[in-house]
Amino acid sequence: MPRSLWKGAISFGLVLIPVEMYPAVRDSALDLTMLDRRDFSPVGFKRYNKNNNKEVGWDDIVKGYEYADGEYVVLSEEDLRQANPEATQTIDILAFVDAADVPLLYYEQPYYLTPGKGGDKVYALLRETLRETGKVGIAKVVIRVKQHLAALVCVDDAIVLNTLRFADEIRATDELKIPASNAKAAGLNDKELQMAKALVEGMSAQWDPAQYHDSYREDVLALVDKKVKANETKTITMPGKETPRPASSNVVDLVALLRQSIGKKPGKAAAANDGADDDGAPAPKGGNKGGSKGAAPAKRAKPADKPADKPADKAADKAAQNAAQKAAQKAAQSAAAAKGAPSKATPARRKSA
């Protein structure tokens, strides 16, 4: 079981719910150690006294606030707690708001809250109230000498405290180049919107977080394993040539790109693409049954046993056959004249004439 980060109580109205706070997420980032490239020894950092350059151990370190240049007020953990005991020991709910009214941009870090001793019933009461009303509790809490705005959210059977960013921590978008807020002003037409919606519909699925994973981390670890097996642990790979990116264009045929994207996706999106003509309009239902207007569908030609000869090849073959026939007739006439008999080929030639 993870270690509790904070102990205190949830306060709303006159109700106090004793709770303990636990981390709700774990960091799975790659833990890379800094090395000295000359001998690949680990690089460490020391805490040292800036006056005498001697190393300082954790037991000799205290915290202080610099109130003037080079002058500090020492603040112990007890000082910080006594400054405002209520703030450091309670999650003070200030209001309940609709969950959909809190933009995702404000959410920061989640923590699980579990009931403390004797707090099971009131914990369950708050959880079920949040669940049935669709509200979240907006509160303030001090964690590690910093006060946070927070949202208490019902997630399955737990109450989750999600720290929020304060409004002054969110940067405005005034200086950013963002397209206009409506489709027409942004230069979009109905055809592009309809095909984009078809693509979204075709790619829609049930949320299943288990099917998504950190593939980049897996690839890096696979590379580490490959280098170990190849005995290349001390090999430094130098930067190579970057793959050139496709040149950008100011004019993009969005309809063509969307149609290609839809064609690559199975299911609804592909069906929607099949049911659209070249202009993006759905194909008429029912074909041409009952003498309906419109061109009849072309019949498919029966595949030939062998490829058809080209016209140029046919002409060459015919010319060769005529030349062979004339040569045979001439030879027969010459033979007949030598014997004094009429040529047998002549009547045939006259008949054909």
Host domain of residue 266: 179-201+253-283
Q: Which residues pair with 282 in a beta bridge?
A: 276
Residue 137 and residue 270 share a domain:
no
Residue 154 and residue 114 share a domain:
yes
At residue 68, the pLDDT reads 93
Residue 189 and residue 132 share a domain:
no
Q: How confident is the model at residue 309 (pLDDT cuts 50, 70, 90)?
A: very low
What percent of the chain has a predicted confidence (pLDDT) above 90? 39
Domain boundary among 127, 145, 169: 169
pLDDT at 145 > cutoff 70: yes
Residue 123 and residue 73 share a domain:
yes
Domain assignment present for 196:
yes
Can you tell me which residue has the tokens 């072309």?
298
Look at 199-213, 236-250, 321-335 and tell me which has the smallest mean pLDDT: 321-335
CA atoms within 13 A on the CB side of 249: 5
Residue 272 and residue 160 share a domain:
no
Residue 183 and residue 66 share a domain:
no
Of the segments 35-39, 181-185, 250-254, which one has the largest average pLDDT value? Answer: 35-39
Look at 101-115, 119-133, 217-231, 310-324 and tell me which has the smallest mean pLDDT: 310-324
Domain assignment present for 219:
no
Domain count, the chain: 2
pLDDT at 89 > cutoff 90: no
Q: How confident is the model at residue 247 (pLDDT cuts 50, 70, 90)?
A: low
* CATH code where residue 118 lies: 2.40.290.10
Residue 165 and residue 95 share a domain:
yes
At residue 298, the pLDDT reads 44
Residue 196 and residue 91 share a domain:
no
Residue 88 and residue 17 share a domain:
yes
Question: Region 2-25: what's the mean pLDDT?
Answer: 89
Domain assignment present for 242:
no
User: CB 92: neighbour CB atoms within 10 A?
Assistant: 19
In this structure, which amino acid lies at residue 105? L
Of the segments 228-232, 302-306, 332-336, which one has the largest average pLDDT value? Answer: 228-232
Residue 184 and residue 164 share a domain:
no
Can you tell me which residue has the tokens 């106090």?
16
pLDDT at 79 > cutoff 70: yes
Look at 88-102, 201-215, 334-348 and tell me which has the smallest mean pLDDT: 334-348
Residue 188 and residue 114 share a domain:
no
Task: Report CA-CA distances (Å) from 196 to 190, 215, 261.
Answer: 10, 27, 9
Instruction: Render pLDDT for 283-307 as a digit per residue (tens, 0 to 9).
Output: 444 444 444 444 444 444 444 444 4
At residue 13, the pLDDT reads 82
Domain assignment present for 55:
no
Average pLDDT, the chain: 78
Question: Region 18-35: what's the mean pLDDT?
Answer: 89
What percent of the chain has a predicted confidence (pLDDT) above 70? 71
Domain assignment present for 131:
yes
Question: Region 156-182: what's the mean pLDDT?
Answer: 91
Residue 100 and residue 71 share a domain:
yes
Task: Report CA-CA distances (Å) from 247 to 250, 252, 289, 305, 306.
Answer: 10, 12, 48, 46, 45
Helix, strand, coil percentages for the chain (3-state, nearest 5) = 35, 20, 40
Instruction: Render pLDDT for 91-100 as a digit per residue (tens, 0 to 9).
Output: 999 999 999 9
